[in-house]
Amino acid sequence: MTYNELKDLLTEKFGAEIITGENTQNPQPFLNIKTDRLADVCQELFTNPQTYFDYLACITGLDNGPEVGTLEVIYNLYSIPYDHHLTLKVITERLTPTGALPTVPTVSHIWRTADWHEREAYDLVGINFTGHPDLRRILCAHDWEGHPLRRDYEWPEYYHGLKVRYDNHNEVNGFKGEFFKTFED
């Protein structure tokens, strides 16, 4: 099925309000899905014999930074028998008003591969997946503080008495990181 057919199918099934936005200019067009309906949409895409998205290739957590104030979760779905793709996206705020991590419903009961991908997104970006059976840190140590892929993340000085930022030879040499700044406009 093409992207437009998939979009029509979802609109027909769930109503137009679940799609909060889309981008068809992108080389891989994507749909923005309402956060609390994500699990229903994924269940439908997984079980419907016309779509049959049986392979969840990748889940990416993405922080847009404090200025924008949003987090995104991107799901790359693929159907092996039909050979079609779909990219879904969920956008939440960076922090809830109470200061807790934002929540996104889990899809690990549909695709078991989402289990580890969601743990990774929780670990590195800081997204709380509600309904996840075992949401622990996976790549960082269990007592690591903060979520390293957040834009406002600051490296700790010490971790269990070990100095984290050990390389000050750049400062000694007078190199202040100008090299990388030249790449930005």
Q: Where do contacts with another protein occur on this chain (CB under 8 A)?
A: 26-28, 30, 54-58, 60, 62-63, 74, 76, 80, 83, 87, 111-113, 115-116, 120, 124, 134, 136-142, 148-149, 180, 183-185
In one letter, which amino acid is 12?
Answer: E
- Give the chain's radius of gyration (CA, Å): 20
Tokens of 12: 């027909």
CB of 85 to another protein, least distance (A): 8
Cβ proximity to another protein: between 36 and 139 the closer is: 139
Cβ proximity to another protein: between 44 and 54 the closer is: 54
CB of 34 to another protein, least distance (A): 20
Return d(Cα 83, Cα 45) in angstroms, integer. Answer: 14
Instruction: Please report, in angstroms and rounded to a whole number, the separation of the first and last CA atoms in the chain.
Output: 40
Residue whose token pair is 């439908």 = 44
Cβ proximity to another protein: between 14 and 46 the closer is: 46
* Interacting residues of 177 by C-beta distance below 8 A, sequence separation 6+: 170
Closest CA to 87 of 3, 158, 180: 3
Cβ proximity to another protein: between 19 and 124 the closer is: 124
Return d(Cα 96, Cα 25) in angstroms, integer. Answer: 31
CB of 56 to another protein, least distance (A): 6
CB of 160 to another protein, least distance (A): 8
Cβ proximity to another protein: between 17 and 157 the closer is: 157
CB of 12 to another protein, least distance (A): 26
